[in-house]
Structure 1
Amino acid sequence: MAIATYSLVALDCPDPPALAEFYASVLGGEVKQYDDDWYDLYAPGGHRISFQRAPGHRPPDWPNADSNSQQLHLDFDVPDIDAAQAQVLALGATPLDLDDEGGTRGFRVYADPAGHPFCLCKD
């Protein structure tokens, strides 16, 4: 029997409303403000991502886990990875690893505007 029920993933960041809007543009859904330091994205499918103000936030140094681990990352399935890439870059994502294996790997790695890694994965 399960001990707990999944609730959300919370991301530390310097600007919660901006990061919540970035992910709302990527995933859809509705952003709700809890207070000045906490915003929630209620994404389609019942998933919730929260964004918590962390004034001293230091983005992960992907992939250099020796100096600063990646802490977590999010994976998003997409039907057209090239189209999705163009869209997330236009929203302010930074490319970290665009699959130099000729597209055989099936995913590409980016950083959101606060520096958290996320992957676009071939659906």
Structure 2
Amino acid sequence: MPVATFCLVAVDCPEPRRLAEFYRGLLGGEVKAYSDDWYDLFAPDGTRLAFQRAPGLRPPDWPRADDNSQQLHLDLRVTDVEAAEREALALGARPLDTDDDGGRREFRVYADPAGHPFCFVYGS
């Protein structure tokens, strides 16, 4: 029997409101502010992401995992990767690895506005 249940993922970032709005643009849902330093995104599927202020955040260097590891990344399932990519870029994402012409056809990697990597997972 488990001793806990999943509650949320908290993401460090220099601008929590901005990052919460970025992920609201990708996932939908409602953003709630608890303070200037903490915002929650309640996604339509029940997932809760929190964004907490970390002024000195040093974004990870993707894909290197030596002195500045990824720390975490989010996988987001999409049905239309081209449309999802256009929307993500318009919201402020930047591509890290979108080369799926070399045989890999399951995911593309981006950085959110704070520099955290996330993947669009697609296909079967």
5+ residue gaps, structure 2: none
TM-score (normalised: structure 1): 0.95
1:18-57 matches, within 5 Å, as: 18-57=18-57
Contact 1:99 1:107 in 2 (8 A): no
TM-score (normalised: structure 2): 0.95
Contact 1:81 1:122 in 2 (8 A): yes
5+ residue gaps, structure 1: none
CA distance in 1, matches of 2:100, 2:29: 32
Between the aligned residues of both structures, percent identity stands at 68
Measure how far apart 1:103 and its partner are: 5.8
CA distance in 1, matches of 2:119, 2:104: 15
Name the SS for the 1:24 alignment partner: helix
Q: Which runs of 4+ in 1 moved over 6 A?
A: none
Query: RMSD across aligned C-alpha pairs, in angstroms?
Result: 1.2
1:81-92 matches, within 5 Å, as: 81-92=81-92
Letter in structure 2 aligned against 1:35 = S
Letter in structure 1 aligned against 2:3 = I
Contact 1:28 1:43 in 2 (8 A): yes
CA distance in 2, matches of 1:110, 1:54: 21
1:67-78 matches, within 5 Å, as: 67-78=67-78
Letter in structure 2 aligned against 1:118 = F
Name the SS for the 1:20 alignment partner: helix
Q: How many equivalent residue pairs?
A: 123
